Chain A
Amino acid sequence: EPEVTQTPSHQVTQMGQEVILRCVPISNHLYFYWYRQILGQKVEFLVSFYNNEISEKSEIFDDQFSVERPDGSNFTLKIRSTKLEDSAMYFCASRGTRNNDEQFFGPGTRLTVL
């Protein structure tokens, strides 16, 4: 069964460093998303991506964040200069078509900023 994969599973970085979180969505899906979940808190929407552009972003997704689909298979989230408060689980999700509202989530990347 197709699934969304994410790498790495755990990333530890120093404050101020850049990180890139990687995701491989389900191959024929058209809509891509990033979410984050701070420990013990709710899942928060960051950004949605369709047709090679951002279709929606939340207030959390400021200028320090960017997304890219560089090669038609990977979908990346970059944080330019990490802060302590960026420590969280980051989940990638994909969705097949506009008519199918179900999103398929990856296992997540745990980001720890020291």
Chain B
Amino acid sequence: SQQGEEDPQALSIQEGENATMNCSYKTSINNLQWYRQNSGRGLVHLILIRSNEREKHSGRLRVTLDTSKKSSSLLITASRAADTASYFCATYNNAGNMLTFGGGTRLMVKP
């Protein structure tokens, strides 16, 4: 089954710094998504990158995708304390009816 795995598992930075999280997956994909989860809350979709895209931006978010290495990265620029959360990558199976999440990166941004 497809599975995204993030690293690092935890990341602590100062406000204003950039945060980079990486995700690896195992099988071919049509797209890869990143979600955010505040502590104990539901997940919020951040950004989707298609397999034919190499880079995508949304506000302070930048996502890259390298299908040859089966990896993706999420960069949050100029981080804020409010960015403190867990970030997960997710991919669908071939049938497109099962979304599999990675283990997540817990990001802490210190004010």
Contacts and interface: CB of A to CB of B under 8 A. Distances in A.
Interface string B48-62: 100000000000000
B42 A108 contact: yes
Given A103-B45, A108-B41, A42 B97 contact: no
Interface of B: 30-31, 33, 35, 37, 40-45, 48, 88, 92-93, 95-104
Contacts of A98: 96
B98 A56 contact: yes
Given A42-B102, A43-B88, A107-B41, A102 B33 contact: yes
Contacts of B92: 101
Nearest to B46: A102
Contacts of B48: 101-102
Contacts of A89: 40
The SS class assigned to the A binding surface is strand
A14 interface: no
Nearest to B95: A56
B97 A48 contact: yes
User: Which 9 pairs, one residue from A and one from B, show the smallest C-beta to C-beta distance?
Assistant: A105-B42, A56-B97, A43-B101, A105-B43, A55-B97, A56-B98, A48-B97, A102-B45, A42-B103
B100 A45 contact: yes
A91 B33 contact: no
A48 B98 contact: yes
Contact of B99 (A45, A50, A110): A45
Nearest to A100: B48
A58 B96 CA distance: 14
Interface string A38-49: 000111110010
Interface in A33-84: 33, 35, 41-45, 48, 50, 55-56, 58
A108 B44 CA distance: 12
29 contacts: A41-B103, A42-B102, A42-B103, A43-B37, A43-B43, A43-B104, A44-B101, A45-B98, A45-B101, A48-B98, A56-B93, A56-B95, A56-B97, A56-B98, A58-B98, A89-B40, A91-B42, A91-B43, A93-B43, A101-B30, A101-B33, A102-B33, A103-B45, A104-B45, A105-B42, A105-B44, A107-B41, A107-B42, A108-B42
